[in-house]
Every structure is written in structure tokens, then in C-alpha cells.
């Protein structure tokens, strides 16, 4: 059955709609007669006949009618808890299929039924919660709506001027207003009010409670307003609610000074969280600055600047030294020197010659370079990197999903515990009401799950950003967690463990080897067969001039023949020339030895006489053996799954030191992976279109950066540098990330457990509870930020 590609615009927003691709995949799984398939961004490929095409198109049309996809920029988020509150509020709307926020890119991706809910309904919910909202249309910002921020300044670092100014410039007054409405401004107001209250209390002690109460109100009012907004949209148990109840309770108990201190410390914590969160986002948002907004288009002798998004495939552009490439392209002039460190992590500039490829975002060095554009607008390498990072946050690690579920009932449960602490001792054991209510209020603050909730996404975001800077594109926390548990890594052969193109390795000639090679290359030069191209390439590398050939002809799959300088030259397989080869015992024995090594042997006949043989093989990558050794030291079993013949596979496996399963069709690879999964988590590494099903079936699929688009789409991880050395790095990165997450969870829960006990025994009070909660959140975030610096090499 041949593999068919159906190119179809199955969603207008298909470039970024991973949910739509998932839905199509699930429907196709139940379609009779469909053996295997891959749904990529622009195409559906399957193994089967054309008769199933109409059924696939019908499924796509049905999904398109029920699912409308929109992307928004959200301003004002300073921690993943803010993102979660927006997701939950939007999810409650009727007709919403999914609402997911990429905290790293501050984007809300919505998928909804337009007949049940409108974009205005979504806007009202988000702005009602106090966050700024900007619709993204064709990759650009539009229709800006702003509101006072929930817990941080609406002017976040990653926002563009369009998104924060609504088309007008900020004056001095607007800047002050923006500062005061943010978390730093709220902290400043509460701090000034507290200082004023302390000073006034020194001169008029009788009214000290009044002064401290006013100071408390200065910090409480913005928190109370956010609480009202949250409750209005179904967010009943957030930190804002807990702080509001605790502060009001403290004021009613006459603890005005403590209430004002608690609120001031809480706002300090909010400001610190925002700063830490912005730091965690920097690794991702810096990628957005790599792509130029304009390009220099070359048309004949004319040069003019055009918007980068207006470029089309085939356009010729110029890039000056110190500028970045606005699209993927092919080098047209001699020797372009490119710095690709921001894309691949490779610190040494690369020399690109004529017809070499170059990636969008690469920095041009030393001299003017000319390129022919090869990528559509919005679909260059940099766009794909950013899109993969954005989608990666949708693929949560299992531990993250567990913590989400845990926190959803943990806070209400703790509020119930606090209520019982407030009423049971006084009612049943004659406890003092004020003392136990005070302890209950302290428990409310301790029960805040912020540190626990942020423990996983902070670590994952930092790890993804650090990996992206190195050229390792990981599609989410789930892949990181699975990498940490990997037991087996399976490899494709061609283009993965090998260079992907055959090379001449041995030359055995009866007489003059150089002459035999010269005549052989003449016959082979007109062929596009990989073996023929390898012979020609080898001859040119040896500096041997290749003569012309006449009367050229080929016998498909067997031999090529031609007249070179009056001599009849034939080049073919050992089977085709078996009789001539057997006549020379020495060369025959050598040829058999080369075949045993997994090499392809080509026989050369000149004027009907055996001239010699050439041996060719797709050589293993230089780094392959060392990489496999590192993986084995990490406790990873390695195995090669190849469609090549068993003799070739066995020879390569013996050389590299790994188990081999050869002669496999794509469906055979699937069976092998399923069998390996029974023993533990399996990672599959490949690059070809035939590897796509195996990459999808494996627990983690890793695509080499030089592979096909379908393989890259099916994989969970892409190696942009196309380097095998990155595989041990990935394993270490996964283990390092999970270790960091475990540390964060232990820190968050441990501090809460300690202060829970000290509160019940009356050792700690409200202000210590705030310090514990804020301190835990900041410590967890700072611990996660270590992943931005630590290299797992």
C-alpha cells in the first residue's frame, strides 16, 4: 500500500491548533481501512488507497464546523496561578472546548463552538478578572482591550507597545498610573501607608489602631476588589480570597498592626513572584526578538524594504552584516558567514556556501549576503521553534496534572479545616474564641497552594527555555518526565546513526586504481542513484578529472554501461557480474569480505575484463559510538530498528555496540516498539517519513533536525543541530528537571507542614505565615531558575 499525502487546510488556524490535530487523529483511529497515519500542521498522510480520502475530508469538515480557534495575548499574569484562574473561568463558558494558556508566551489559546459562545463572551470573562487582553490576528496584535491588572502591572516585559498603549503613547501620568496599578505599585502604596501609620502612632498612641486600620485598608482594597472579580467568575478559593478573609478577620479581632503588616508582606511577595516569573520567561521571549520585522527585497537592480510577512517562496533578499535573516533561505552568493548561536546553541559561526540552507533568525557576519527565500510567511524555522514552545505547555507532565487535581480540592479542604479550628476548641473544649479564630486565620494563609502550584510549571518552563537555547525543542513537560524514566532508546539507521549518504570506503583494482576510478565515474556521472553520486563525489574529492562518456545506457537495478575514450566500461552489482567476479579468486574473496562487513560492492568491467571492485557504505556518524556509550552508562538500553538488510545492519551494530533488528518495514517497527514498551519507557529516534508512525507510537519520539517535516511533526522532541551528542544531554535534562520538581514539591509541602504545626501550638502568627507562604513561593521559583543556568552535559 502506498503512502498518500492529502494536503488540506483543515483549520484556518491550523498553524497553531494542536487540539484540532489531536481531534482529527482520534477520529481517524476509528476509521475502518486506515492502517496508519500522521496528522501534521498542513497535511494528513496515511498508508492506504485513495478510496479512503473522502472519509478523511468529511471528518475534517465536521471538526472544522464545530471548532473555532482564536489566540489572545494576556497581560497582567505574574504566576501560573493567574493563568490557571483564567483557564478555569473561560472553561466554564458554554461551548468552550478548551482554553489553554502558555504562561511563557502569555497567550490564551481558545477552541470553541461559535454557535454557543462568542469572542465577546471570552473577552468579558478575561477583562472581568482584571487582566489585559489582546487578540492575535494572523500573527499580529489587534483589538486591544485593557483592564486593571489582577496581580501585576499590565505593562509586562513581553508586551509590545501596541498591546499596552491601545494605539496611543503613554504620558507621564499614564506611566505613574500603570506603575501604581501593578504589584510593585500596590506594594509601594501599602508600604507608604504603613510607614505613615507607624509615625503617627508614635505621636498619638491612643488612635494607633485607627492609623493601622487605614494602612491595612490601603493594602486590602485592591486585593478585595480582585477577590470580588474572582468570585464573580467562579474562582472561590484563590490566594486573594484567603488573604481577604485573613485580613478582615485580623481587623475584627483588633489586630490592625498585624493585618497591615500581613498585607504589606503579601504584596512584597507578589512583586517578587512577578520578577521571578518574568525572569523565567526571558529564555522564551528573547526568541521573539530574533526575527526582523522588515526585509530587503531584491528585484533586478532595485532594492526596497518590505514587511517580513510579505515575503514569498522564491523571493531574493539581501541581509547586511549585523542583521538577522527574516526567513529560511538558500545562499546565493559565495560564502555567507552566519552566527546561529541563538537558534542552535552552536557558538562557532558557520560558513555557508552557494546553495547551502540558512535558518531564519541567523545573524549575518562580516559581509553582505544574498538568499532565496524557501519558507512561507509564518512558517520558517524560528516560527516553528516559537510555535513548538507555545504548544509545549499544553502537554503537561503527569506530575503536573496530579498537582493540578490535588490543588483543586486542597484549598477548599484547608478552608474547612480552618473553620473547624476556629469553632471546635471553643465549643467543645472551652477554648478562647479570639485565640482560635486567630489560629484559623493563620491556617488560611498557610493553606495557600501558590508554591505547590508553581513548583512544576516553573521548573518545566525554565528547562524548556534552556533546552531551546541549545537547539533542543521539547514539546512539553510530559516528554521531560518520560525522558527521566526512559529504559530503552531505539534508533533508525539511515540519517540517524549514519550520515545518510553512502561513501566509497575501499578501492580494489587489478592494475591502476586511479584509472579505474576515473573511468567508473565517467559512466556513473549521469545517474542520480545515491551509489553513483557517491562514486562521482569520491572521484572529484581525489582531484581526478572525469572524462566524457558516449553510448551511455543503464540496466535498471543491475548495471550502467558506456564508452569512455574508446573503451567499454560497465559498472554493476556482484550478482549481475557474478561470473566475471568468480574468475578472479583473490578479488572474489576480498569482495566477500567487504560484503560481510555490510558494505555494498560495485564491480567494474573494462573491455569485458574484470578491472576491480569498489566498496561503499553509509558510514556511521563520527559521534555515534561515543553517544551510544554515554547512553549505556546512563542505564539506557540501545537498539537499532532498520529496514536495511540484516548483514548491513549486523555489521553496523557490531561496530557501534548495540542490538540490531534489521529488514523491518514501517509496521514491523511499530510491533518492535510495542514489545519494547512492555519492558519500560521507550524513546524512538528517527528522521524519515517512514519513521513518523514509530515516533508517534513510542513514549517519546525524537526527530533529527535534518529530517522530514512529517517526522518533526510526529515527534515530541526535535534536535535542531542534528547532533547525536544531544541525546545523553536530553536524558540528563529530563532527570535534572524531575529532581528539581521533587525538590520544589518537598519544599512547598514541607514548609507548610512545619508552619501548620507551629501555628496550632501558638508559636507562629499571621505575619510568619505570610513569610512562610511567600518565602516558599520565591524559593521554589529561584530553585526552578537554576535550570536556566545548569547545563546537563
Active site residues: 492
Q: Where are the alpha helices (DSSP H) in 100-238?
A: 119-128, 161-165, 172-181, 183-203, 208-232
- The string of DSSP codes covering 576-616 is TTHHHHHT-HHHHHHHHHHHHTT-EEEEEEETTEEEEEEEE
Query: Residue 434: which residues within 8 A CB-CB, separation 6 or more?
Result: 253
Task: Say if CB 442 and CB 769 are below 8 A apart.
Answer: yes
Residue with cell 510495542: 674
Phi, psi of 367 (to 5 degrees): -150, 165
- Hey, is 124 helix, strand or coil? helix
Q: How far apart are CA 453 and CA 80, in angstroms?
A: 7
d(CA 69, CA 64): 9
Map 306-323 to HEC letters: EEHHHCCCCCEEEECCCC
C-alpha–C-alpha distance, residues 195 and 188, integer Å: 11
> Residue holding cell 526571558?
282
Which residues are CB-contacts of 519 (< 8 A; sequence separation ≥ 6)?
Answer: 547, 564, 565, 567, 569, 604, 606, 611
Task: Name which of 573, 667, 551, 579 is nearest 36 in CA terms.
Answer: 667
CA separation for the pair 516, 776 (Å, rounded): 75
List, in sequence order, every beta strand (DSSP E) within 705-768.
717-719
What is the dihedral angle through the alpha carbons of 734, 736, 738, 743, rounded to the nearest 10 degrees? -170
- Please write down the long-range contacts of 159-163, taking CB distance under 8 Å and 24 or more positions apart: 159/73, 159/75, 159/106, 159/132, 162/134, 163/73, 163/75, 163/132, 163/134
Cα-based torsion angle of the residue sequence 326, 327, 329, 333 in order, rounded to the nearest 10 degrees: -10
C-alpha cell at 285: 521571549
Report the C-alpha gap between 752 and 367 in whole angstroms.
59
Which residue in 450, 405, 521, 501 sits closest to 780, CA to CA?
Answer: 450
φ/ψ of 250, rounded to 5, equals: -65, -40
- 426-to-285, 397, 432, 765 alpha-carbon distances in Å: 54, 44, 6, 19
CA distance 474 to 687: 16
| Residue corresponding to grid cell 502537554 | 395
Tell how strand 681-686 and strand 700-704 pair up: parallel
Question: Is the sign of the CA dihedral 414, 420, 426, 431 positive or negative?
Answer: negative
Which residues are within 8 A (CB) of 775 and not within 5 positions of it... i.e. 6 or more apart? 269, 751
Cβ contact 491:657 at 8 Å: no
E strands, 320-412, are 329-331, 336-339, 350-352, 357-358, 363-365, 369-373
The grid coordinates of residue 142 equal: 489587534
Amino acid at each position: 500500500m502506498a503512502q498518500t499525502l492529502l494536503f488540506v487546510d483543515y483549520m484556518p488556524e491550523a498553524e497553531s491548533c494542536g487540539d484540532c490535530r489531536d481531534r482529527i487523529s482520534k477520529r481517524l483511529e476509528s476509521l475502518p481501512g486506515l492502517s496508519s497515519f500522521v496528522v501534521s500542521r498542513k497535511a494528513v498522510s496515511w498508508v492506504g488507497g485513495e478510496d479512503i480520502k473522502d472519509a478523511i475530508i468529511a471528518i475534517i469538515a465536521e471538526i472544522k464546523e464545530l471548532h473555532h480557534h482564536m489566540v489572545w495575548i494576556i497581560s497582567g499574569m505574574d504566576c501560573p496561578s493567574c493563568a490557571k484562574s483564567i483557564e478555569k473561568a473561560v472553561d466554564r463558558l458554554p461551548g468552550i472546548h478548551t482554553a489553554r494558556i502558555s504562561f511563557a508566551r502569555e497567550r490564551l489559546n481558545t477552541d470553541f463552538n461559535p454557535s454557543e459562545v462568542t469572542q465577546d463572551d471570552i473577552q468579558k470573562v478575561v477583562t472581568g478578572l482584571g487582566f489585559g487582553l489582546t487578540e492575535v490576528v494572523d500573527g499580529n496584535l489587534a483589538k486591544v482591550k485593557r483592564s486593571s491588572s489582577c496581580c501585576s502591572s499590565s505593562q509586562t516585559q513581553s508586551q509590545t507597545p501596541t498591546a499596552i498603549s491601545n494605539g496611543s503613547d503613554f504620558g507621564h501620568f499614564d506611566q505613574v498610573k500603570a506603575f501604581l496599578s501593578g504589584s510593585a505599585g500596590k506594594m509601594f502604596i501599602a508600604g507608604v501607608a504603613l510607614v505613615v501609620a507607624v509615625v503617627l502612632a508614635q505621636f498619638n498612641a491612643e488612635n494607633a489602631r485607627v492609623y493601622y486600620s487605614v494602612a491595612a485598608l490601603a493594602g486590602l482594597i485592591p486585593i478585595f476588589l480582585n477577590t470580588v472579580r474572582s468570585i464573580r467568575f467562579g474562582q472561590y478559593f484563590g490566594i486573594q480570597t484567603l488573604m481577604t478573609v485573613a485580613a478582615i478577620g485580623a481587623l475584627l479581632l483588633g489586630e490592625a498592626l498585624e493585618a497591615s503588616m500581613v498585607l504589606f508582606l503579601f504584596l512584597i511577595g507578589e512583586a517578587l513572584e512577578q520578577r521571578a516569573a518574568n525572569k523565567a520567561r526571558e529564555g522564551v521571549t528573547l526568541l521573539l526578538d530574533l526575527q526582523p520585522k522588515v526585509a530587503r527585497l531584491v528585484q533586478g537592480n532595485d532594492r526596497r524594504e518590505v514587511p517580513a510577512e510579505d515575503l514569498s517562496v522564491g523571493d531574493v533578499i539581501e541581509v547586511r552584516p549585523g542583521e538577522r535573516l527574516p526567513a529560511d533561505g538558500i545562499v546565493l552568493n559565495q560564502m555567507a558567514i552566519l552566527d546561529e548561536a541563538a537558534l542552535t546553541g552552536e557558538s562557532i559561526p558557520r560558513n555557508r556556501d552557494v546553495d547551502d540552507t540558512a535558518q531564519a533568525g541567523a545573524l549575518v557576519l562580516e559581509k553582505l549576503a544574498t538568499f532565496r527565500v524557501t519558507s512561507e510567511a509564518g512558517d520558517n524555522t524560528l516560527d516553528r521553534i516559537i510555535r513548538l514552545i507555545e504548544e509545549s505547555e499544553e502537554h503537561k507532565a503527569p506530575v503536573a496534572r496530579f498537582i493540578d487535581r490535588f490543588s483543586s480540592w486542597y484549598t477548599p479542604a484547608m478552608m474547612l479545616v480552618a473553620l473547624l479550628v476556629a469553632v471546635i476548641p471553643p465549643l467543645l473544649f472551652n477554648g478562647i474564641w479570639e485565640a482560635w479564630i486567630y489560629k484559623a486565620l493563620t491556617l488560611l494563609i498557610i493553606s495557600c497552594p501558590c508554591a505547590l502550584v508553581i513548583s512544576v510549571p516553573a521548573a518545566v518552563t525554565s528547562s524548556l527555555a534552556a533546552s531551546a537555547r541549545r537547539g533542543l525543542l521539547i514539546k512539553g513537560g510530559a516528554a521531560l518526565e518520560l525522558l527521566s524514566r526512559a529504559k530503552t532508546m531505539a534508533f533508525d539507521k539511515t540519517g540517524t546513526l549514519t550520515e545518510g549518504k553512502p561513501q566509497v570506503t575501499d578501492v580494489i583494482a587489478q592494475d591502476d586504481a586511479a584509472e579505474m576510478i576515473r573511468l567508473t565515474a565517467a559512466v556513473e556521472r549521469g545517474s542520480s542513484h545515491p551509489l553513483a553520486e557517491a562514486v562521482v563525489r569520491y572521484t572529484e574529492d581525489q582531484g581526478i578529472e572525469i572524462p566524457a562518456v558516449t553510448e551511455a545506457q543503464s540496466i535498471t537495478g543491475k548495471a550502467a554501461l558506456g564508452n569512455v575514450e574508446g573503451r567499454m566500461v560497465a559498472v554493476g552489482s556482484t550478482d549481475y557480474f557474478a561470473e566475471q567476479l568468480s574468475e578472479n579468486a583473490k578479488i572474489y574473496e576480498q569482495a566477500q569480505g567487504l560484503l560481510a562487513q555490510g558494505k555494498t560492492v560495485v564491480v567494474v568491467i573494462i573491455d569485458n575484463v574484470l578491472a576491480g571492485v569498489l566498496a561503499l557504505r553509509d558510514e556511521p556518524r563520527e559521534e555515534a559510538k561515543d553517544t551510544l556509550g554515554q547512553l549505556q552508562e546512563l542505564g539506557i538500553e540501545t537498539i537499532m530498528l532498520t529496514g536495511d538488510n540484516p548483514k548491513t545492519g549486523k555489521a553496523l551494530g557490531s561496530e557501534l555496540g548495540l542490538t540490531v533488528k534489521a529488514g523491518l518495514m514501517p509496521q514491523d517497527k511499530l510491533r518492535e516498539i510495542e514489545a519494547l514498551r512492555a519492558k519500560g519507557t521507550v524513546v524512538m529516534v528517527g528522521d524519515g517519513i517512514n519513521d513518523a508512525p514509530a515516533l508517534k507510537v513510542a513514549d517519546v519520539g525524537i526527530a533529527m533536525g535534518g529530517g522530514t517535516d512529517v517526522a518533526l511533526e510526529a515527534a515530541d522532541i526535535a534536535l535542531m543541530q542534528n547532533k547525536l551528542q544531544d541525546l545523553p544531554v536530553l536524558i540528563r535534562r529530563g532527570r535534572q528537571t524531575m529532581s528539581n520538581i521533587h525538590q520544589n514539591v518537598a519544599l512547598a509541602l514541607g514548609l507548610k507542614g512545619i508552619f501548620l504545626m507551629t501555628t496550632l501550638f501558638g508559636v507562629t502568627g499571621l505575619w510568619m505565615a505570610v513569610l512562610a507562604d511567600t518565602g516558599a513561593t520565591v524559593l521554589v521559583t529561584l530553585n526552578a531558575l537554576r535550570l536556566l543556568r545548569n547545563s546537563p552535559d
